[in-house]
């Protein structure tokens, strides 16, 4: 049973078309053209359900693998472009840690910190193991709450439940292939420090080389997993091979 986890943020994603009507006037200059057509103009690559590429965040003047951040220019990422992610196809064992369900809640409140201890508790409660190479998906319910409220205020960059900074050590020990959540930025907001914005990103992407997935719609998957008691599945979420991009929209599936 496939569960689609994609959502599109329509306030940011702008899908524009170049249609026959748009080009007819200009085409008067090219009367020898024997055909007509239409094209699309692509949306911003991180405007909805998406992967952060390894060229997305820098630590001081360095990006992942020690590359100089100047490898990323207006012409695209010369190193660590998202197209490199297509080599491993982004397919593997997926594991859902449904934190609010483990706590008997519908969703987690803004500012709720998901700690190492809580990740362990959730895995034990849901009777699932997190293994090396897994695509780990952590549900907070934040996106579902916004959909229920019909109000996106604060979703992008505002207060939100999320992973504690300490969970970087937990994920490193588990050797997961990627971390995914239903929030805008994975980590808890307000951040646990005033010294940096999104400090977890500074470590996860440029230093650990950890693939990060954001804005995944997990409602259907969570219900399905709760229904059969199975929180593991085949996870399929290939990035688009957009050369030099630092992120990619994605249409992820969980298949049981």
Q: Give per-residue pLDDT as tens, 154-192.
A: 999 999 999 999 999 999 999 999 999 999 999 999 999
Query: Quick one: pLDDT at residue 9?
Result: 47
> What integer pLDDT is reported at residue 56 of this predicted model?
85
In this prediction, residue 23 carries a pLDDT of 52
Residues in the chain: 256
Give pLDDT tens digits for 208-231.
999 999 999 999 999 999 999 999
- For residue 10, the model assigns a pLDDT of 42
Residue 242 confidence (pLDDT) above 50: yes
> What was the pLDDT predicted at 88?
66
Domain boundaries, the chain: 2-12+45-255
CA atoms within 13 A on the CB side of 27: 15
Residue of higher predicted confidence among 193 and 27:
193
What predicted TM-score, i.e. pTM, was given to this entire model? 0.84
Instruction: Encode pLDDT of 47-63 as tens digits.
Output: 789 898 888 888 888 98
pLDDT digits (tens, 9 = 90+) for 91-124: 999 999 999 999 999 999 999 999 999 999 999 9
| Lowest model confidence (mean pLDDT) among 18-32, 67-81, 175-189 | 18-32
Question: What is the CATH code for 2-12+45-255?
Answer: 3.50.30.50
The pLDDT, as a whole number, for residue 243 is 86
First to last CA, the chain: 5
Average of per-residue pLDDT values in the chain:
86
Q: How many helices (DSSP H) and strands (DSSP E) are in the chain?
A: 7, 15
At 80-89, the pLDDT tens digits run 888 887 676 8
167: left (phi over 0), alpha (psi -120 to 50) or beta: alpha
Q: Which residue bears the tokens 């969570």?
A: 222
């Amino acid at each position: 049973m496939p569960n689609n986890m994609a959502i599109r943020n329509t306030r940011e994603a702008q899908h524009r078309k170049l249609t026959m009507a748009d080009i007819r006037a200009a085409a008067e200059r090219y009367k020898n053209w024997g055909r007509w057509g239409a094209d699309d103009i692509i949306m911003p690559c991180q405007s909805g359900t998406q992967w952060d590429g390894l060229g997305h965040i820098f630590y001081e003047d360095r990006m992942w693998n020690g590359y100089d951040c100047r490898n990323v220019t207006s012409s695209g990422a010369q190193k660590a472009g998202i197209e490199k992610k297509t080599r491993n196809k982004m397919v593997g064992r997926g594991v859902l840690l449904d934190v609010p369900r483990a706590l008997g809640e519908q969703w987690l409140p803004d500012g709720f910190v998901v700690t190492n201890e809580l990740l362990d508790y959730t895995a034990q409660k849901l009777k699932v193991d997190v293994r090396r190479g897994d695509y780990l998906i952590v549900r907070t319910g934040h996106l579902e709450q916004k959909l229920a409220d019909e109000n996106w205020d604060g979703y992008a960059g505002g207060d939100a439940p999320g992973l504690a900074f300490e969970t970087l050590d937990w994920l490193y020990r588990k050797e997961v292939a990627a971390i995914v959540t239903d929030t805008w930025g994975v980590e808890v907001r307000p951040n646990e420090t005033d010294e940096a914005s999104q400090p977890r990103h500074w470590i996860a992407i440029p230093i650990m080389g950890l693939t990060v997935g954001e804005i995944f719609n997990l409602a259907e998957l969570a219900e399905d997993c709760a229904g059969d008691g199975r929180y593991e599945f085949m996870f399929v979420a290939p990035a688009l091979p957009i050369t030099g991009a630092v992120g990619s929209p994605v249409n992820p599936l969980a298949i049981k």
